[in-house]
Every structure is written in structure tokens, then in C-alpha cells.
Chains A and B, each alone.
Chain A
């Protein structure tokens, strides 16, 4: 299984956008790629830190409320007068030292729960979070069982088979990953 394509690649003239690497180098390369990717993601997730300033708090709060006259736009984004009024209201309340919950309650009192941009996680609204997860799990399980069954039922490919394929390929003058690119095939024109 390891011999096939690599051997073919070694015999073929260098082709494709990648210069050929030896399997060992590539293996080390892959480890490096995975480690680097994880490390970079960890660095990316590091927060600037520090306590939230009033301005940041106002920004966060205005982003969490929906403009009552527009669809989809937050109070922070919207150009509507109603949004501007609520922005001013939130800024005043934050300066006055009111808590997030107090501000939220006063706005919901007036404009109903429609003013919340994120549906609450209680009551009937839990369904909107739950149903997609259930559907996704169900769908994934369906696909997974199907593939599992196939794999058990399917015939396995022996190294001898692969060798045969490789010979046949060579006979046709094709590399496993080269100029005649097995993966982009002419059958797919319209």
C-alpha cells in the first residue's frame, strides 16, 4: 500500500505544483503542520485581556439588541432613529452604573423579547437550538452507519491488486499524481 503511488512518483519526472518529497520528510512535515496549526489556533484564541471598559460594554450591549424597526440589524449597526435612541439609552444606563440584566429587562419591558437578538435559552425557544443538533446527529449517524456497513461488506483491496493497478497505469503512461491527473477527469464536462 505504501509502495504503489510513491514508487510511481519516484519514477515519473517531477510534475505537479509540488516538488517531490521523500515519504519520511513528508511525514515529519505533516506532524509539523498539525502542531503548527494547533499552536497558531491557541495563539489566536488568546484574548487581549483586561477588564471590560464602559465603551466595550456599550458596544457589546448594543450588539446584543435588535433594532426594532429593521430586520436583522443590531442596535449597534442600524442607522434607524429607533436604534440611535436605544444606543443613547444604553450609554446613559451604563454610565449610570446599571447592570446588564436591568438594562435588558427595561428594553424587553418595552419592546418585548423581539428586541433580544439571540433567542432566549428557555421555553419554546430551546427548540431552535435543539432541533438542528438532533437533525445533525441523526444525519451524521445515518451516513456513518451506511459507510460502516459498506466497509464491512465491501471487498478489501490487497497489495497485489494495487500492484496490478500500478502496472496497468504505467502501461497507459500515467502517474498516480501527475500530468494526467487522475482526479480531474474529462468525463465531467457538461
Chain B
């Protein structure tokens, strides 16, 4: 305990002059009082370590919030704006080709794109996270998938993305309904969409279980 040291340093000043040890006697309890003071600080310190901190789950702060703007040029030369997708579910996926779980979840996104295309209810948009553009293009050529891909560092920063893959499920009303840190499967997205649509037709419902997976 550092407090202890600082306090004990003061205690040194209490040493009797001329080197005589004083046993007992008035005014010689300084070590005891210092120790008690240090003990009090210690209790507070252990209390903070044991019960301190803010235990709210940071993973779910996004749920229910309005989605930040996802817009700009895409890798294939077009442009994209999430506002024009209002009325549809949007799967906003942050990824990089060097990231194993991203590569693993790619087929799931392909499946979601097909499902969204056939039902007209949903679409996928991806944002590159620190990866060269031509690598990403090659990756899509090999693995398939034709959804718009944006490469703009502002977007991951707006979304506070720190590690990929990270996926946000956005409702047709433009609210974040789910936030996934780690790989996703097409089935879990579809089930959230199905459940939300069942809860209220508007599709703006928020999954109250808030089980953002990590």
C-alpha cells in the first residue's frame, strides 16, 4: 500500500530525539494511529476494487439508437446511402479479409443477401476495416457477394468499431435493433427480423432481451 508508505514516512518524525527508545508513555502511539489511518484507506481501497466500477453493459448501448450515417462511394464505383434504404432492414457489417471470423461469416452474409433480395425486406452493406481496396475486391471475386462495400474510416469511427467482425442490424425505421461483436449467422438475423415484425408491424421494435452476442 503506497498510502501506507507515505503515512509511515511521517511516522519517522515521531522518533524520539537522541536515540532513546521510549516504551509506552504519552505521545508515543503514533505508529498505532498511523496504522489505523492506513487501515481506513485500505478499507476504502478494497471497497472500490470489490464493488466499484460501472457495471452497465457497454455492448448494448447502441440498441434503440438511431443509426449513424452510412453513405459514400462504393468499391464498385457506385454510391450508397443508408437513408435510401429506409423501409428495409439493413445489415451493416464491418469486416476485413485478414480476419478469420470475418472470412468464416462471409457465406452467411451471402445467404442473407439472397434472402433479402428475394423477400425485398432486407439488404446488406459492408464497411472495410483497415484493408487494402484491391485485396477486398479480390476477396469478393473469390468468395462471392455483390452488396455495396464502403471504404471510409469515418464510418467505423462513428460506429465505435474496435474489432471486426462487428455487425449492426438496423430496422426499417432506421434504429439499431441488434449489435453483434463477433461472427453472425444468417439464421439469427432472420429470427430477430421475424420476431420484431411479429411484435409490431412497424418493425421499429427493439429486442428487449438485448442479447447482443459477443
Q: Do chains A and B touch in the complex (CB under 8 A)?
A: yes
Instruction: Please indicate the chain B residues that have their CB under 8 angstroms from the CB of A179 in the complex.
Output: none
Query: In the complex, what distance in Å separates the CA atom of A81 from the CA atom of B153?
Result: 11
B198 beta carbon closer than 8 Å to chain A: no
B130 close to A145 (CB less than 8 A):
no
B52 to chain A, nearest CB (A): 13
Which among A32-40, A45-53, A106-114 touches the partner chain?
A: A106-114
A149 close to B10 (CB less than 8 A):
no
- B157's partner among A85, A145, A149 (CB-CB below 8 A) is A85
- When each residue 146-169 of chain B gets 1 if its CB lies under 8 Å from chain A and 0 otherwise, what string results? 000000011011111111100000
A182 beta carbon closer than 8 Å to chain B: no
B158 to chain A, nearest CB (A): 6
With most chain A CB atoms within 10 A of its CB, the pick from B130, B153, B157 is: B157
B46 beta carbon closer than 8 Å to chain A: no
B5 to chain A, nearest CB (A): 9
Query: In the complex, what distance in Å separates the CA atom of A138 from the CA atom of B158?
Result: 45
Known A92-B154, A149-B13; judge A81-B129 contact (CB<8 A). yes
A142 close to B9 (CB less than 8 A):
yes
Instruction: Please indicate the chain B residues that have their CB under 8 angstroms from the CB of A101 in the complex.
Output: none
- B162's partner among A82, A107, A145, A149 (CB-CB below 8 A) is A82
B153 close to A85 (CB less than 8 A):
yes
B103 to chain A, nearest CB (A): 14
A54 beta carbon closer than 8 Å to chain B: no
- A85's partner among B10, B15, B130 (CB-CB below 8 A) is B130
Known A85-B130, A85-B153; judge A139-B158 contact (CB<8 A). no
Which DSSP category, helix, strand, loop or mixed, fits chain B's interface?
loop
Chain A contact-residue range equals: 20 to 34
With most chain B CB atoms within 10 A of its CB, the pick from A86, A106, A142 is: A142
Chain B contact-residue range equals: 20 to 34
Query: In the complex, what distance in Å separates the CA atom of A142 from the CA atom of B18?
Result: 18
- When each residue 72-115 of chain A gets 1 if its CB lies under 8 Å from chain B and 0 otherwise, what string results? 00000000011011101100100000000000001100110000
A147 to chain B, nearest CB (A): 9
Query: In the complex, what distance in Å separates the CA atom of A77 from the CA atom of B55?
Result: 30
B160 to chain A, nearest CB (A): 4
B40 beta carbon closer than 8 Å to chain A: no
B161 close to A82 (CB less than 8 A):
yes
Q: Which residues of B contact A (CB under 8 A)?
A: 6, 9-10, 12-13, 15, 17-18, 96, 98-99, 129-130, 153-154, 156-164
Q: Which residues of A contact B (CB under 8 A)?
A: 68-69, 81-82, 84-86, 88-89, 92, 106-107, 110-111, 135, 138-139, 142-143, 145-146, 149-150, 153
What 8 A-B pairs are tightest by C-beta distance, nearest first? Answer: A81-B130, A89-B153, A146-B13, A88-B153, A142-B10, A68-B162, A84-B130, A110-B160
The 20 listed contacts between A and B (C-beta, < 8 Å) are A68-B160, A81-B98, A81-B99, A82-B130, A82-B161, A82-B162, A82-B163, A85-B161, A86-B153, A88-B130, A92-B154, A107-B157, A110-B158, A110-B159, A110-B160, A111-B160, A145-B13, A149-B13, A149-B17, A153-B18
